[in-house]
Amino acid sequence: MSKKSKIQAVKGMKDILPSDSHLWLMVESMCADIFSRRGYRQIRTPMLESTHLFARSIGAETDIVSKEMYTFEDRNGDSLTLRPEGTASCVRAGIENGLFYNQQQRLWYTGPMFRHERPQKGRYRQFYQVGVESYGWSTPDIEAEVLAMVEQLFSELGLTNTTLYINSLGDAASRASYRDALVDYLNEYKDQLDEDSVRRLGSNPLRILDSKNEKVQSLLDNAPVILDYLSDESKLHFATLQDYLTTLGIEFEINPKLVRGLDYYNDTVFEWINHDYGAQSTVCGGGRYDSMVEQMGGQDTPAFGFGMGLERLIEMLQEQNASSLEISQSCEVFIVSVGDKARLQAIKLQDVLTKQGLSVQCHMGAGSMKNQFKKADKSLALIGLVIGDAEAQSNQVNVKVLRKELAQKTDMEQQRSVSQDDVVNVVTNLLDSL
């Protein structure tokens, strides 16, 4: 590498900068709050797993496993993969740590996922997902609970113009008879299908419903519909879920072509689409995957969950200018000080005030009074504390309300000199009155 060649982030991976990170923190803490209030507890699993975990759980035929994984051999020659999604790891960890046997679990996670896809808006090679997984319930009430949490999150964040689509894939027998009907239908139009769809016709025909090819989609308009092939039990399950959603006031649309990208789903599948965002419009998707735990070597355990893309969610919120995003990033107090003794006192005051729960920035390094006040203005602080030589000698500090409109609300249009011992009281009273 030449001396001057630029060091850059890996293609498709991006930095989340301070200008955006406050939003990330807000979304993540809102998730933690909403989920924990319904009894969901966080699980943290490693980002690296044995490669065969994903082949076995997600399905070798899926886009993820067949072409998107970051797989490499470590120094021992073991094949490892950077996790492309979170469900497989939850299942592995649950089996390995005995979380499923005779138990029910409400879990959630957040963290980076990795997929080698073509980078574009809403599609990155490292991206964050928040996910929820519930284990041990086969009934639609748990599905309604999980969907209600996403709805609550979107509504508290102020995300609008977003639709929940639901579908049922039924049980294995319903899917098998539907698969036959779909293949019979599509075989008649084989010459009009694209290469991908022809391949899937042999391997995984339901995935053709997911095709982004418009010609294929128009052929599918008259194809048989999975909902006509459901067993009575699956039909009742799906109808009951709809009753719950209606009772909860959650709007939804049924999309019989919705199959989701992964192979492991049965019965309920769903996704939320944001209509303002462009091509990568799915912000959250998931469904029921009752057979996976057993297939991975655990006890038969019904499961239901979702994954939600945080980059997409946050970009959607930013594009929509969602109102709840107008959170203040300003600090409450800015301390200006000139002179060595004053600086010592300033640092001490910052320490005392922050330990009282206030947000306090202290000017650091050299700088004239004028220069420091400019920084104070920029910080959007409400109150300035000023310590010059004279104040330092007498252990005083000048308290100043920095924003004119607020100063008028108090009797603080001029700065006021107070003893440093009284600063905590004066500042907290002042902040209460602003």
CB of 302 to ligand ATP, least distance (A): 19
The DSSP secondary structure of 123-138, one letter per residue, reads B-SEEEEEEEEEES--
Query: Does the protein bind ligand ATP through residue 305 (CB under 6 A)?
Result: no
CB of 64 to ligand ATP, least distance (A): 7
CB of 309 to ligand ATP, least distance (A): 2
Query: Does the protein bind ligand ATP through residue 117 (CB under 6 A)?
Result: yes
CA distance linking residue 423 with residue 429, whole number of Å: 10
Please report, for residues 353, 402, 422, the alpha-carbon distance to residue 397 in angstroms, rounded to integers and kept in the order given: 14, 15, 9
CB-nearer residue toward ligand ATP: 117 or 181: 117
CB-nearer residue toward ligand ATP: 205 or 309: 309
From 99-107, 157-165, 179-187, 307-315, span contacting ligand ATP (CB under 6 A): 307-315
CA distance linking residue 349 with residue 351, whole number of Å: 5
Task: Write each residue from 83 to 112 as x if it is in contact with ligand ATP (CB under 6 A), else as -, in one continuous string.
Answer: --x---------------------------
CB-nearer residue toward ligand ATP: 112 or 367: 112
Of residues 52, 13, 55, 28, the one with CA closest to residue 109? 28
Query: Does the protein bind ligand ATP through residue 280 (CB under 6 A)?
Result: yes
Query: Does the protein bind ligand ATP through residue 289 (CB under 6 A)?
Result: no
Name the amino acid, one letter, at 218: S
CB of 122 to ligand ATP, least distance (A): 6
Query: Does the protein bind ligand ATP through residue 309 (CB under 6 A)?
Result: yes
CA distance linking residue 54 with residue 43, whole number of Å: 18
Count of Cβ atoms closer than 10 Å to residue 170 Cβ: 24
Query: Does the protein bind ligand ATP through residue 133 (CB under 6 A)?
Result: no
Dihedral over Cα of 165, 315, 359, 434: its sign: negative
From 148-156, 187-195, 280-288, 400-408, span contacting ligand ATP (CB under 6 A): 280-288
**Quick one: which H or E segment has residue 245?**
helix 232-247
CB-nearer residue toward ligand ATP: 62 or 396: 62
Name the amino acid, one letter, at 161: N
# residues contacting ligand ATP (CB under 6 A): 19
CA 324 to chain centre: 16
CB-nearer residue toward ligand ATP: 120 or 218: 120
CA contacts within 13 A on the Cβ side of 248: 21
**Quick one: which H or E segment has residue 156?**
helix 140-157
Name the amino acid, one letter, at 172: A
Count how many residues are written for the chain.
434
Among 282, 320, 345, 372, binds ligand ATP (CB under 6 A): 282
Write the CB contacts of 289 (distance below 8 Å, at least 6 apart in sequence). Answer: 87, 264, 265, 266, 303, 304, 305
Query: Does the protein bind ligand ATP through residue 285 (CB under 6 A)?
Result: yes
CB-nearer residue toward ligand ATP: 231 or 281: 281
CB-nearer residue toward ligand ATP: 200 or 363: 200
The CA-based diameter of the chain, rounded to the nearest angstrom, is 94
Task: Write each residue from 237 to 266 as x if it is in contact with ligand ATP (CB under 6 A), else as -, in one continuous string.
Answer: ------------------------x-----
CB-nearer residue toward ligand ATP: 108 or 229: 108
Give the binding site for ligand ATP (CB under 6 A).
Answer: 85, 115, 117, 122-124, 127, 129, 261, 280, 282-285, 307-309, 311-312
